[in-house]
Amino acid sequence: MNRRAVITATIALGLAAGPFLAGCTSKPTDPNAIVLTNVSYDPTRELYQAINPAFAAFWKQKTGKDVTFRMSHGGSGKQSRAIIDGLDADVATLGLAYDIDAIATKATLLPADWQKALPDNSSPYTSTIVFLVRKGNPKGIKDWGDLVKPGVQVITPNPKTSGGARWNFLAAWAYGKKAGGSDAAAEAYVTKLFANVPVLDSGARGSTTTFVERGIGDVLLAWENEAFLAEKELGKGQFELVAPSLSILAEPPVAVISANAKKHGTEEVADAYLRYLYTPEAQAAIAHNFYRPRDPKIAEQFKSQFPQIPMVTIDKDFGGWAKAQKTFFDDGGVFDRITTKK
């Protein structure tokens, strides 16, 4: 064989192997130091920044071991795909159960009945969908019915790419169905609603920015916690939160990715971490970050913070996420139908 060809092949292989070798320098592990990887969705950064040190202290006191956290935040669906493709999460704390279901069904990294592992559908807190309008509510938006009036611009992200937007869509659907009495009426309602949408951002936070920073639109459909954040911090005094007559109970779930935790030997601490979210201390932190706490006592304490809204649920009114996703958001579903028909 040609000597030159051998040299060439060696150089090419050596160069190609370089980046791989760079990754093999793993850090030495201290048996008393535990690293927990929490893969979460976008808006929870402040929440876990408050909870993680508290849990670390709690765990240190209980077992004498140190826990450090690796946090990853991103869109809920994208994070779920990353776990399926091998991101070594010990726990997943995502925006909707559908995304954790996908991890269970497509990668079998946790049991299919994961949602039964922890109390309250494995959702330590809830939230809902509300409206955010500009100060003084110039368009007089009080309820879903006002959103389809001519000249009202509605901002919502794209349900095809954003988990939060799916909650928006389903809440709107629930209203349309209740007001009109049929699926056909609901479809007519959301068709009119989306005709009033000038921009479909790819994520929930993109929509908030479009509404708040770009000044586009009259009303933003948003997570309650996001709306509070926008009202109280982002654009203090420029916006008002409007509670509609009907909304949807959003239950962001948490789960131990058992296959990964087993591999890392973190099953116990991962489970304790998620259970810690249900303790009064964590529930208070949750309420401070504008999520609705599950603990009745803490809920009572923060009662005045959250408006009372009648809510439908995904399981009772839509037959669960798998069905809702297929009917409404997959290719050829209701959302495609209403946005492509002219």
Binding site for another protein (CB under 8 A): 2, 4-5, 7-9, 11-13, 15-16, 18-20, 22-24, 37, 42, 45, 70-74, 77-79, 81-82, 84-88, 102, 106-107, 158, 160-161, 197-203, 205-206, 208-209, 213-216, 229, 233-234, 325, 329-331, 336, 339-340
65: left (phi over 0), alpha (psi -120 to 50) or beta: beta
Nearer to another protein, 9 or 33 (CB): 9
Rounded Cα gap, residues 211 and 198, in angstroms: 11
- Say if CB 339 and CB 329 are below 8 A apart: no
Strands in the chain per DSSP E? 33-41, 66-74, 91-93, 125-134, 154-155, 219-223, 239-242, 247-250, 254-256, 292-293, 311-312
Residue 56 Cβ vs another protein, minimum distance, rounded to whole Å: 16
* Half-sphere exposure (Cβ direction) of 297: Cα atoms closer than 13 Å: 7
Which residue number, 23 or 237, has a Cβ lying nearer to another protein? Answer: 23
**Strand pairing class (91-93; 33-41):** parallel
* CB closer to another protein, 208 vs 283: 208
Task: Provide CB contacts within 8 A for 31, sequence distance 6+.
Answer: none
Q: Between 80 and 127, whose beta carbon lies closer to another protein?
A: 80
Nearest distance in Å: CB 288, another protein? 17
**Structure token digits, residue 310:** 């009648």
Nearer to another protein, 63 or 209 (CB): 209
Closer to another protein by CB, 19 or 296: give it: 19
Q: How far is the CB of 305 from another protein (least distance, A)?
A: 20
Calpha distance 245→142 (Å, rounded): 8
Q: Which is nearer to another protein, 18 or 151 (CB)?
A: 18
To the nearest whole angstrom, how small is the minimum distance from the Cβ of residue 213 to another protein?
7
Q: Which residues pair with 249 in a beta bridge?
A: 128
Q: Hey, what amino acid is at 72?
A: S
Minimum distance, C-beta of residue 212 to another protein, in the bound complex (Å): 8
CB of 122 to another protein, least distance (A): 21
Tokens of 168: 């928006």
Beta bridge partners of 248: 312
Query: Which tokens belong to 306?
Result: 């959250």
- Minimum CB–partner distance for residue 120 and another protein (Å): 26
